[in-house]
Amino acid sequence: MRGIDTQVRVTRRRVFSEVARLAYDSDNLKDDIEALPYKIVNYDESKHWENIYRERAIVRERIRLAMGLSLRPENVPVHLTQGLEESNISEKYYEPPLMQVIPSACNACPVNRYEVTNKCMGCVAHPCYEVCPKDAISMVRGKSYIDQEKCIKCGKCKAICPYDAISHQVRPCAAVCGVNAIKSDHMDRAVIDEELCVSCGQCMVSCPFGAIADKSQIFQLIRALQSGRKIIAQVAPAFVGQFGPDVTPAMLKTALKELGFADVYETAIGADMGCMEEAEHYVHEVATGELPFLLTSCCPSWSVMAKKFFPETIDNISNALTPMVATARKIKEEHPDASVVFIGPCASKKLEASRRTIRSDVDFVITFEELAGMFEAKEMILNQIQPLDEMEDATGAGRGYGVAGGVANAIENCIREYYPDVEVHIEHAESLAECKKMLMMAKAGKKNGCLIEGMACPGGCVAGAGTNIAISQANKEVAGFKKAAKQPVPSRE
């Protein structure tokens, strides 16, 4: 579903743009929030749910999350606008949990179930019956039937059926969760185990019902812009092409300034700093045998997963600042009076910015999807913007961080440039499931001497939960912007 404007994405975008309009224009916020579900769902018959009442109930919860508020409990009467005063401010960090399942939207999909479809031909050979180790398959009215009480979900019946008539049903959200954080409540609806979740957001973009959503700071950011605070934006390397094929980086930079941002930096500046530092780490620690392997640090979900599930690898995670944090610190060194907003593809950056162990210097985090809502609220047509100045901050190495393999490639190129005699061994994994396998092999000593890049999202940052375009198109856009950089790798001077 990535890159397709499904009704789930249309609704998400509509909620973001309407909440942004409230932040910009509302004189009576409580009343306007109460009216918003009726504005968004304003027809007599629901187009997507069985009735408008359920659709409005779901939209109400989406509005709360877009305002930075938590979902309301189902068993306690809580007003739609409860907690509004705490959110109607110009500075508010995210409060965990970031990812939440909207109960009224969850379809309670089968967790793990094999079912015979109407493609069953009722064949005489009946191989599904023959291979079932638990006698769970029988013939009912000439067709195969699976007794769910006996079935052990081994999948042998599906594998052998000559007509592909047996379907394996799994929850889409659970299927993409590499840390098994999707559980079930007493009504078989999905819930997220906060102790296991690493906030990558892949469950959110994989749910066909749009039942999972994250919190936003879009309202607070707009309030901060209106307050007159000096706010500088940094945009992640994956930003290229996210706002239309005709919108150049220079046009986006100008558009952001028209929104009220004092200046715009490439986060790839911090990526340049990071690849230089991690190149040094590899040469002086891994290549010398001091460390068995080095894990990159830029993807927060990858780092959190390593720390949660493989605590013995903590010392192998690079201590280089992430590109977001490194860029924020550079901005605040040059502009001590400024606040910083990170604009990127990633849901987990929202929690990285608010962590207490390492000062992030990032005041707000919004995604490309949320920024698009801000542009819509201001009715800005980006491909008609006249660009004022170019984005020329970073090298090709830092700009390449937006795609899977790009981080490791940047570090490798730096090592080859700075230390041509040092042999480099590179590994990378994308998706939490593959990252987990990689860490298991590293733990077992099978990746010694390697620089290992981990990306929670399959495809890298261009596949993050807050992106706007298809992954394949985003890859091309990032490659072109990387190629346009004046330098391939940062200078050591």
In this structure, what DSSP letter does residue 71 have? P
Whether the predicted pLDDT of 80 surpasses 80? yes
Convert the pLDDT of each residue in 11-61 to its tens digit: 999 999 999 999 999 989 999 999 999 999 987 777 777 889 999 999 999
Mean pLDDT computed over every residue of the chain: 93
Q: Measured between alpha carbons, how far is 349 from 367 in angstroms, rounded to an integer?
A: 9
- Of 217-221, 353-357, 438-442, give the lowest mean pLDDT range: 353-357
Convert the pLDDT of each residue in 447-465 to its tens digit: 999 999 999 999 999 999 9
Q: Which long-range contacts (CB under 8 A, 24 or more apart) does 152-160 make?
A: 153/112, 153/113, 153/114, 155/114, 156/128, 156/131, 156/132, 157/114, 157/128, 157/131, 157/132, 158/114, 158/128, 160/127, 160/128, 160/131
- Of 321-330, 348-357, 472-481, give the lowest mean pLDDT range: 348-357
**Per-residue pLDDT at 269:** 97
Convert the pLDDT of each residue in 259-285 to its tens digit: 999 999 999 999 999 999 999 999 999
Kindly indicate the confidence band of residue 90, based on its pLDDT and cuts at 50, 70 and 90: low
Please answer whether residues 319 and 297 qualify as being in contact, where contact means their C-beta atoms are separated by less than 8 angstroms.
Answer: yes
Instruction: Tally the C-alpha atoms within 13 A of residue 352's C-alpha that lie toward its C-beta.
Output: 27
Please answer whether residues 343 and 255 qualify as being in contact, where contact means their C-beta atoms are separated by less than 8 angstroms.
Answer: no
CB atoms inside a 10 Å sphere around CB 328: 28
Convert the pLDDT of each residue in 109-126 to its tens digit: 999 999 999 999 999 999
Convert the pLDDT of each residue in 385-433 to its tens digit: 999 888 888 999 999 999 999 999 999 999 999 999 999 999 999 999 9
- The residue type of 66 is A
Instruction: Calculate mean pLDDT across residues 226-238.
Output: 96
- Residue ranges covered by each domain of the chain: 7-101+191-219, 112-170
Convert the pLDDT of each residue in 40-53 to its tens digit: 998 777 777 788 99
**Per-residue pLDDT at 407:** 96
**Per-residue pLDDT at 354:** 80
Kindly indicate the confidence band of residue 86, based on its pLDDT and cuts at 50, 70 and 90: confident
In this structure, what DSSP letter does residue 72 have? P
pTM: 0.93
Multiple choice CATH, 112-170, 3.40.50.720, 3.30.70.20, 3.60.20.40, 3.30.1330.50: 3.30.70.20
Whether the predicted pLDDT of 141 surpasses 70? yes
